[in-house]
Amino acid sequence: LTSASNVIVQSVLQLAWTATAASLIVCVSFALALRAFDNAGAARDERRPAAAFRGIVITAVPAAICLSAIAAAILVLAS
Amino acid sequence: VDNDLIFGIVVASALIFDFTNGFHDTANVVATSISTRALAPRVAVLLAALMNFAGAFISLKVAATIGKGIVSAGSVTLPIVFAGLAGAIAWNLITWSVGLPSSSSHALIGGAVGAMVVAHASAVNVGGLLGKVVIPALIAPCLAFVIAAIAIVAVYRVVGRSRPGPVTKSFRRGQIVSGSLLALAHGTNDAQKTMGVITLALVAHGNLPAKHFSVPSWVVVSAASAIALGTYTGGWRIIKTMGTRIIRMDVAQGFTAQTSGAAVILAASHVGYPLSTTHVISGGIMGAGAAKRLSAVRWGVAGNIVVAWVLTLPAAGATAAAVYALTRLLGGGTVGTIAVIALVVISAVTIRVRRAAPTAGARPLPQSS
């Protein structure tokens, strides 16, 4: 009974940890990408092309993290 | 021949259940996207159907749990599987007719266990039922609630000073991705339950060995098609409950609720838990609402949903137990099964005729579609 309980507890902890990490990575990285993209848009409106370009480059980093996390979740499930 | 006939009835019932599962659960997947106007209803439903179909091919761990983790596959007979499905379908239709989101998954599991208890109580794996169904059923909505609450606080903190117009527009686009991910997760977890049931029927019919669990390709394709078709057909009454009556959402809340729900369902599918997408997305919606303002959640509606959750396992189990007992009373096997189907059809027609009678000739009431 104890070993069965341990297995259940471990599975539930794995579920909680994986779901929390995946969800927060996707949501926060998406929000960071949006903020950087918005900053880039504001810089373009103020005619500051260098700042706008820098904003676009910065946007790419959290956007890539967000998309990679989604792709990794699907690949892990399918493996 | 008798055995083949009952096998055909069971497979057809399982696919009808899968269709009603998609029909019933469409709301879970598309309600947030529709209520925040990220997608038009028809487009949202079509996208969800396609992603459901694709999701059904990703994993088979949940099917294995249904097929061998809750009841002993060697003790299952075709009338037991039929009774379990009949209980689940009946409960799904009752909750759908009153517009309440309940859990199709727990209706199916409750049905299978209820019929099994009447047939061979010792073949029910109580440890498996507790560890793989009951405990995840309690934890999953709470987990989605907490994750969505943390995520929305973090998202508001990150985008708080950005210009609202462009951010809202981008979140709407993000919701197309998060909604698709949720539909994929739904297809992965829910279609596998029907695959598990059909595989159990194949074992009971003698087509597959009980010891080596494997799902044939035709089972995967037919379960994927049935759930996708059901999703496309849609459940508009429940969409209304889920999309606007729990909370009124902004796009960031919709995005976090969908992402949290998808993350919980995908993680559960990886462990092999047959989770309820209804439980999870409801928990996510409430978490995203409560983190912003506790009073934003309409707790009365949320309470009704909790009541449906609590009732689902025992109600579907009791219905399935009654169907199985009736099948045995009417001669058992194929004769009993056909007699039960005839009895159910006659009862349904009688109820329909009696309901229609007082309103005949009167002006019809407007329907919520």
Q: Give the integer Cα–Cα distance in Å for B20 and B316.
A: 15
User: Which ipTM was obtained for this model?
Assistant: 0.90
- Establish, for the pair of chains A and B, how many residue pairs have beta carbons separated by less than 8 Å: 119
Whole-number pLDDT of residue A77: 79
Structure tokens at B261: 């729900």
Q: Does residue B276 sit in helix, strand or coil?
A: coil
User: Of A30, A34, A76, which is closest to B162 when you measure between CB atoms?
Assistant: A34
Structure tokens at A75: 């690949």
Which residues of chain B are modeled with pLDDT < 70? 1, 96, 99-102, 235-247, 301, 305, 348, 351-352, 354-369
pTM, full prediction:
0.85
**Do B177 and A78 lie within an 8 Å CB cutoff?**
no
Q: Which residues on chain A are in Cβ contact (under 8 Å) with B279?
A: none
Q: How far apart are the first and last CA of chain B?
A: 43
Question: B71 pairs with which residues across the strands?
Answer: B124
Burial of B40 (0-12, 13-18, 19+ CB in 10 A): exposed
Whole-number pLDDT of residue B146: 95
Which among B277, B218, B288, B305 is positioned nearest to B21, based on CA atoms? Answer: B277
Q: Give the integer Cα–Cα distance in Å for B310 and B194.
A: 22
Is the distance from CB of A38 to CB of B169 less than 8 angstroms?
no
Considering only alpha carbons, which residue of chain B is nearest residue A30? B174
pLDDT in tens, A3-59: 777 878 888 888 899 999 999 999 999 999 999 999 999 999 999 999 999 999 999
| Side-chain half-sphere CA neighbours of B317 within 13 A | 17
Q: Give the integer Cα–Cα distance in Å for B348 and B331.
A: 22
